[in-house]
Structure 1
Amino acid sequence: MDVFSFGVVLLELLSGKEAVDDEGRALWTSVGGILEGNEERKVKRMKEWMDVVFLQDTCSMESLISVMDIAIACVHRDPSKRPSMVDIVYALCKSDDLFFDISEDGLDPQVNAR
């Protein structure tokens, strides 16, 4: 259940929307076909679905799609097909845009740092 909840939080962050809207529709039910098709279609659907703040940010679309893929896997209907938290952490760490350097001042984003 924690993996499912984590996936919902990722979807909320990516979309800028609540987990359940005012009409009672669950956010995770709207993500089924977003990452289907070729790269161009994926990018188009992601841009339409995600929070516009990401369009103004320096995150790469590739990284956002990677996080979306993880979120979708976390909310899979079949709990046995959801990734473990270890797999999730590994997948998130593989993204160049998601590395952070912990310094005395707190978390400093290190874009493209490896």
Structure 2
Amino acid sequence: MRAKIANFGLAKSGCNALTVHIVGTQGYIAPEYLADGVVSTKMDVFSFGVVLLELVSGKEAIDEEVRLLWASVEGVLDGNEERKERQVKEFMDGCLLEQSLSMEGVMNVMAVAISCLNKDPTKRPSMVDIVYALSKSDDLVFDESEDSLSAPPVVAR
């Protein structure tokens, strides 16, 4: 899988704007931008949620049959804990299932991704909240043994 980051620069610092011409990469574009042309930092949050889904699933943001990845996660975290875990495992990339990852951490990453994809942009988290939540997931997902990656921890301020 190749990492792709797109559309993170369309929203200017904290200002909402209205555009006439829609630009961006299919699969990452927030629904409110497609519907109304409204640009905000929350559409970047939406795009980041799609990137998180790609990382967990190993799938592209939009497949060959033009199905959107973000549309496939509706209801994944509904139900009891056993059902949630089963559905997240079905969504996960098989390579991740072979690793010794904490399901609690993966489910936390999925919860962050799904919150980023909220249809109401005002209900999406801020990037500060996302960094904080993902730094907590980092503690759960990755084994901090000697042979693991030695990247510095990310801390929200």
- Tell me the equivalent position of 1:25: 67
RMSD: 2.0
- Tell me the equivalent position of 1:97: 140
- Whether 1:59 aligns to 2:105 is no
Tell me the alpha carbon deviations over residues 41-70 of structure 1, each in whole angstroms, 9 at most, x when there is no partner.
011111111101111112200000000000
Given that residues 93 and 99 in structure 1 are in contact (C-alpha distance below 8 angstroms), is that contact kept between their aligned partners in structure 2? Answer: no
The unaligned stretches of length 5 or more in structure 1 are 102-106
Given that residues 53 and 69 in structure 2 are in contact (C-alpha distance below 8 angstroms), is that contact kept between their aligned partners in structure 1? Answer: yes
- Whether 1:81 aligns to 2:126 is no
Given that residues 61 and 68 in structure 2 are in contact (C-alpha distance below 8 angstroms), is that contact kept between their aligned partners in structure 1? Answer: yes
- What TM-score does the superposition give when structure 2 sets the normalisation length? 0.62
Matches within 5 A, 1:7-46: 7-46=49-88
Question: How many residues are treated as equivalent by the alignment?
Answer: 105
Bigger proportion of residues as helix: 1
Counterpart of 2:123 in structure 1: which amino acid?
A: K
Q: How far apart in 2 are the matches of 1:67 and 1:75?
A: 13
Report deviation, 1:2: 1.1
Q: How far apart in 2 are the matches of 1:65 and 1:77?
A: 20
Structure 1 stretch displaced more, 65-74 or 44-53: 44-53
- Tell me the equivalent position of 1:104: none
Bigger proportion of residues as strand: 1
Structure 1 stretch displaced more, 91-100 or 80-89: 91-100
Q: Which runs of 4+ in 1 moved over 4 A?
A: 98-101
